[in-house]
Structure 1
Amino acid sequence: MSCPLYFPIQSIRLHSHRFQAGYSFRAHTQAFHQFYCVLEGVVAQRVEGTVHRLHAGEGVWIAPGLEREPRAESRSGEYMVVDFTPPWAELGAGSGMVCKLDHEALADARALAAFRGVVTANLRVAVLFHHLCLRVLPGKWFDRLPAGNGAKEPGKARAVAEDLARVERIEQMMTANTGNALRLEELASLSGMSRSALGRLFLAYRRESPCARFRTIRLERAKQLLEDGGRSVTEVAMETGFATSQHFAGAFRKKFGRSPSEVFCQEGGSPDLRDDA
């Protein structure tokens, strides 16, 4: 396995928690790649309908946009989560990728967990997580990165990191505009790119078009609003840029497998606010 000169894992942030029996976290998605690792106890992590039963020293890599829902299966324990951006868009895709940590990787994970709170821009965190990745991920992932001696090219991996950072900035812009059904031309203009370049960027790193990614972000926002309560289905549809509640309901069901009204009622929404969508 080659040792890359540039190892472009970016935007690292982490948090760790101890949990008790009955712990669960409602189904949600993330815009980042995520490494979820159990340090003590047992956690059932559901990813896109597949349940991974993780014991101490086991983890799962989860790609952005995948729905995940952890639940404790032991009386107590501890887990650690790292959000990050890798140079491999497909890492953790599908229903996640489970792994076992060897002694050194588990030591790195415990050292990371000692930070407890959310940590960003911390050099020690970056070094520990990079070392953990080298211990846990198959060598094939790293063989695809340029070894480089620092002289030939400034680094294809560095360019990948820059592209991923650009994707994240565009996704942040999309999140800030969930109330507007922006067209491809408008997304390209706001991103300072041509339509074709924007399309290539998202197909390369998100495996979907910019418009499809924007729709996913709007639907995730709509689901959050429905779960929070206080708005009718029609109000949520308008607030997330859908022209009609019927159009919204169809897109929502296709994405989440449930109608907006079902989510609304399940979360205890007031019958007075419920629509037929």
Structure 2
Amino acid sequence: MGNILNGKEVAEALKQKLKVEVDELRKKGVVPTLSIVIVGDRADSAAYIKGAVKRCGEIGIECNVTELPQDLSQNEFIEVIHRQNADKKIHGIMIMRPLPSQISEDVVKYEISPAKDVDCFNPINVSKVMSGEEGGFAPCTPSAVMEILHHYGIDPKGKKTVIVGRSMVVGRPLAMMLLKENATITICHTRTINLAEETSRAEILIAAAGKIKMIKKDMVKEGAVVIDVGINFDENGRMCGDVDFDEVSPAAGMITPVPGGVGAVTSTVLAKHVIEACKMQS
């Protein structure tokens, strides 16, 4: 079996580093503060929020949750965001998505302040990530992938790197982040012809297509680093990824599990972004 890339280990190491940074800020009278905004009641969002609040608390970040009614109008929602943009005690804002149908993401994404947009919703931050410009906030999930690579000393420079998934949440921004570190990138997806031929060339293979256990042993190069971003549930209700872990792990050189891999790092990355936002605003 390949070496396990333990997301919990990465998150714990990052957490300890961030606690030191927060302690220094608090000594100066600055308390990093995150506002999470949710419209309506979604079980998956509630679970994520619970984890984020817990992790922020462990690090010393204040985390406020603004719960808004499901039938809130778009204009009312924008007013809430504008108030939080103007509130100097709030350093980071995270809007839980998807939003209800009456609130257009294409409209409201322009309303959140880029300086407080810690999960890359505003197009200004998206543009910075895609162009490789400093000073923006990348989405937390691809940032978590990069944290895992850095923690385990996996240098993507020059390596053939295949990403299966082209979403603006993971695949595309992650490709740009890896390209910035000089990886040789191929982006594939569920409609790629001869997908196994492409993935089996990868020295670093990242699965982010949202399709349960789609990556099989014959699709992985012997000794490859395999990063599984997928969050799915099998017929028994157990969480699993886009990679068939039991089948692939004997061939992989290094591999992330699900759960306990990329997902375990994302809330700590969110906290990191809040601290960075706080420092820039202070």
Q: Is the pair's TM-score, using the shorter chain for normalization, greater than 0.5?
A: no
Question: Please, what TM-score do these two structures have when normalized by structure 1?
Answer: 0.27
Question: Please, what TM-score do these two structures have when normalized by structure 2?
Answer: 0.27
Larger radius of gyration: 1
Structure with larger RCO (C-alpha < 8 A, sep 6+):
2
**Greater fraction of residues in strand:** 1
